[in-house]
């Protein structure tokens, strides 16, 4: 009996050992399978493209690999920082374009100045025709020597000539402009008789003195008359005050000399 038990014990131990070995093998297989599945899942996750986050879509688009929001097609805006960078550039381009659409401002200012001077000359053309007729009537009853040559007439005021006699843009500036302060006394350039003393269009307050049948001197833009029509004056007699009446751009004396009812350069007689 004891011998049987002794013979069965080794067999039972062998079976147990085999059973434990089988269990260990199965457990090893299970662990290996679990590890392999984890690796496969990780590889699959890496290979699968990530879906865009809801936050990225709502805030303005997918993010690029650098983490910056990608601009949607047709989006004309962008971030505030981008707008701030673009706007000054666009402003400069618009300004450059505006400047390129027309001439520079200094050219426009010069053109306006020339147009004013041209209008200034136009206003005198009709008045000169009237003055010529008046002087012709005055000359009919006057006789005397014609004083020609430099120095024959006295300067009516003291001052520089700021605008000479001659053509300007196709029109005649029929006298000289002598700069002088407002209120300066204007004196007769030569003895004679006053044939015009009245406001005369663009000339403003205007006086003409008949010196001979051919020679007259005229004074424009006066602020005040000191003689009337028909008065006899001597060389140096006050006939008016400097001003800016009629069509003018500042206080000065516009001085003219007329020979045979036509304006000529006064510098030949002063």
- The full set of domain ranges for the chain reads 109-268
Q: What average pLDDT does this structure show over 164-178? A: 91
The pLDDT of residue 40 is 56
* pLDDT for res 194: 97
Say how many CA atoms lie within 13 Å of 98 toward its Cβ. Answer: 7
pLDDT of residue 114: 82
Q: pLDDT for 11-30, tens place per residue?
A: 666 666 777 777 777 776 66
pLDDT tens per residue across span 93-137? 555 445 556 788 888 888 888 888 777 777 777 788 888 878 877
DSSP 148-212: -STTSS--SS-S-EEE-SEEETTEEE-SEEEE--TTPEEE-SSSEEEEEEEE-GGG-EEEEEE-S
Higher pLDDT, 61 or 105: 105
What architecture is domain 109-268?
Distorted Sandwich (2.70)
- Average pLDDT over all residues of the chain: 75
Among positive and negative, which fits the CA dihedral 141, 235, 203, 245? Answer: negative
Of 72-86, 114-128, 170-184, 212-226, the one with minimum mean pLDDT is 72-86
Q: Of 178, 190, 252, nearest to 216 (Cα)? A: 190
pLDDT at 81: 44
In this prediction, residue 165 has a pLDDT band, given cuts at 50, 70 and 90, of very high
Query: Is it the case that residue 58 has pLDDT exceeding 50?
Result: no
CB 227 within 8 A of CB 194: yes
The model's pLDDT over 208-231, given as tens digits with 9 standing for 90+, comes to 999 999 999 999 999 999 999 999
Residue 62 has pLDDT above 50, yes or no: no
């Amino acid at each position: 009996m004891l011998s049987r038990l002794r013979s069965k014990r080794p067999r039972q131990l062998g079976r147990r050992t085999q059973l434990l070995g089988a269990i260990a093998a199965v457990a090893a297989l299970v662990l290996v399978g679990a590890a392999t599945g984890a690796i496969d899942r990780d590889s699959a996750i890496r290979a699968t493209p990530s879906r865009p986050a809801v936050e990225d879509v709502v805030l303005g688009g997918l993010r690029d690999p650098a983490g910056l929001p990608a601009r949607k097609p047709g989006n004309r805006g962008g971030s505030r920082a981008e707008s701030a960078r673009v706007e000054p550039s666009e402003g400069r381009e618009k300004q450059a374009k505006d400047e390129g659409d027309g001439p520079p401002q200094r050219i426009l200012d010069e053109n306006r100045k020339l147009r004013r001077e041209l209008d200034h000359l136009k206003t005198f053309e009709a008045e000169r025709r009237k003055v010529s007729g008046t002087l012709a009537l005055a000359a009919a009853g006057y006789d005397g020597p014609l004083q020609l040559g430099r120095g024959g007439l006295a300067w009516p005021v003291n001052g520089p000539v700021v605008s000479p006699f001659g053509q300007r843009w196709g029109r005649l500036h029929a006298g000289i402009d002598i700069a002088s302060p407002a209120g300066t006394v204007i004196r007769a350039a030569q003895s004679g008789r006053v044939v015009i003393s009245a406001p005369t269009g663009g000339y403003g307050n205007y006086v003409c003195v008949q010196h001979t049948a051919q020679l007259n001197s005229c004074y424009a833009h006066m602020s005040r008359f000191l003689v009337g029509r028909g008065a006899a004056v001597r060389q140096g007699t006050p006939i008016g005050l400097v001003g800016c009446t009629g069509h003018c751009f500042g206080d000065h004396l516009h001085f003219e000399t007329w020979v045979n009812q036509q304006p000529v350069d006064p510098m030949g007689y002063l």
